[in-house]
Structure 1
């Protein structure tokens, strides 16, 4: 979020960053469910006292998508280890259209067999229906064998309700440890 705030400040000058952040998250579900950039960003800017225009909306949306679709070296390495172990990978993400497209175009997304984004289906975690939809892409995999990592407890609860094994994401090391403990990854 800090980089997005800095980006907007570079374009418009300083503003109330706390109000902006609170506004961003207060209506983020609508964006993740498919609202257009032009529906989401102007109210966020307005609440933070920033005059909105189409150029600012496009720039903020692009920066937000870029930041959300950039992956650090360590998580990328873990994904490669899992893929090398022959484990089919999928993404289930609450993400607006622009972020979903940015992820699809990223180099690192190629390790995933399936990508399911909330904005493309009008469903979002922790709604059981989106977990079922994601699982349906893996027709030869039983939901009870799916291991799902997420940084929000409510989404882990949703995964459990769908019959999945949910794991709270805390760090790459923690995830690697859990995957090794489960026998999904072997020690190197």
Structure 2
């Protein structure tokens, strides 16, 4: 779902499942053991309440709502443990994407982050080495908006000062990519590192002659 070259000035990246790995099975298993409820009950409740959490709901409110959905009576220590395991589970970084970000930084390409993320995860990412090179960080919890709502992309475009056709957006979720594309943003539906590199090479942001390594501007 790549678009043609339009002279891209800035690349906006999603975080989860693009820069980060999906939460690994061992992290999920630790959460299931701590929760003490069947996985088939825990994860539907986890995701059903997630959008409100991403919009700025507190961790205590979020995990309290999850507990009510699964019929659990978690004490404060358990709530804290679920929170800590959850935050940590989203911080495993894809080495390949991190190397691509390094290459873009070396070439002076403007980059930004746009993530549906709760306050707790956004707080960690503001201090993460992997986001240190980004010009701007945009989080749903700060904006009260979530992808794929059009307003969140419009906010990013205004804040970055770039036209849609000169802005690239990379995300693993089709609905998020389609929403950005409808606004005229140049998009890439992330499905692996090779496709990402090809997209960036096609737009002249990385050099194809050196395995995607940057060349001086």
TM norm structure 1: 0.90
1:8 matched residue in structure 2:
31
Structure 1 distance, partners of 2:119, 2:187, is: 25
1:186 matched residue in structure 2:
207
Q: How does 1:12-161 map to 2 (within 5 A)?
A: 12-13=35-36, 15-139=37-161, 141-161=162-182
Deviation at 1:174, TM superposition (A): 1.1
CA contact (8 A) 2:119 2:141 kept: yes
Deviates further, 60-69 or 101-110: 60-69
The answer as to 2:164 corresponding to 1:162 is no
TM norm structure 2: 0.79
SS of structure 2 residue aligned to 1:123 = coil
SS of structure 2 residue aligned to 1:149 = strand
CA contact (8 A) 1:66 1:102 kept: no
Relative contact order, CA 8 A, sep 6+: which one is greater? Answer: 2
Matched length: 186
1:174 matched residue in structure 2:
195
- Measured against aligned partners, the alpha-carbon deviations of 1:5-60 in whole angstroms (never above 9, x if no partner) come to 322244354x3112211111112111111111111112323433543122222222
SS of structure 1 residue aligned to 2:137 = strand
2:213 matched residue in structure 1:
none
SS of structure 2 residue aligned to 1:137 = helix
Alpha-carbon distance change, 12 to 161 in structure 1, aligned in 2, over 3 angstroms: closer
- Measured against aligned partners, the alpha-carbon deviations of 1:70-125 in whole angstroms (never above 9, x if no partner) come to 31221110111122222100001100000101111211110111000000110111
Deviation at 1:162, TM superposition (A): 2.5
Deviation at 1:137, TM superposition (A): 2.2
Moved over 4 A (4+): none
CA contact (8 A) 2:173 2:189 kept: yes
Deviates further, 62-71 or 110-119: 62-71
> Where does the alignment leave 5 or more consecutive residues of structure 1 unmatched?
none
